[in-house]
Amino acid sequence: MNEKPLIGITPDYSYEKRRFKISEDYTFAVIQAGGIPILLVPGEAFPDFIDGLIFSGGGDINPLLFGEEPIWENGEISPLRDEYELALCKEALKTDIPILGICRGMQIMNIAAGGGIYQDIAAQTGTTLKHSQQAPRPCGTHSITPTEGSLLARLWQKEKIIVNSVHHQAVSFLGAGMTAAAQSPDGLTEAIEAADKPFVLGVQWHPEAMRTKEQEALFAHFVQAAMCYRERRRMP
């Protein structure tokens, strides 16, 4: 009998190639942390066989889904993915299943909770901090500050961490039940969490691509939370 937690991961979708796709970094990070990765594709039923859920990175989200018209800088969208992930996240947030949202995945979490995002950071915030790096993805390019008392602050025990940054959208206002868990130097939200849940965390960077002890600890903590969820579900 398998005793490792099953971690569902939502893949990206290419309309042009009619293919689902995912970076191997996600699966390697889950395996290294002690979990078993499973790709989740659009379906009718909530995948109640999984013990943890990762919303992966990818393209932009349709602004109409969070009450806005698209601006010029908004990029390519995937209606199939948007519809599936938002429905999946809304259902998941009603449970205690551990959730980790990465980049786009953090934005999906916030929108599912009723929050909003900036369609383009440069156009809508005026920040001069570079959020879309021109460096290899494993390399960190700017700092973040975990919020005091947040999961990340407790996990890392550090005032600042260097992260990678490959996005042009960001959380504008928080959804219901979400709190800011980290900020970048320009004040943008770099992580969100639901403090009333065992593990609901969204991060704007890509921890799966960074081979640092902090990001490995993040995945280890997530997979451990999934293991605890698995054990709770088995209790009579």
Instruction: Determine, yes or no, domain membership for 1.
Output: no
Task: State the residue range of the domain holding 156.
Answer: 6-234
Instruction: Determine, yes or no, domain membership for 120.
Output: yes
Instruction: Determine, yes or no, domain membership for 103.
Output: yes
* Residues tagged active-site: 103, 206, 208
Instruction: Determine, yes or no, domain membership for 27.
Output: yes
- pLDDT value at position 121? 97
Instruction: Determine, yes or no, domain membership for 29.
Output: yes
Task: Tell me, rounded to whole angstroms, the distance of Cα 229 from its chain centroid.
Answer: 19
pLDDT by 10-residue block (mean), the chain, 236 residues: 89 92 97 98 90 97 96 94 97 97 98 97 95 96 97 97 97 98 98 96 98 96 97 83
Number of domains in the chain: 1
- pLDDT value at position 1? 54
Instruction: Determine, yes or no, domain membership for 37.
Output: yes
- pLDDT value at position 164? 98
- CATH number of the domain within which 107 lies: 3.40.50.880
Instruction: Determine, yes or no, domain membership for 197.
Output: yes
Instruction: Determine, yes or no, domain membership for 136.
Output: yes
- pLDDT value at position 169? 96
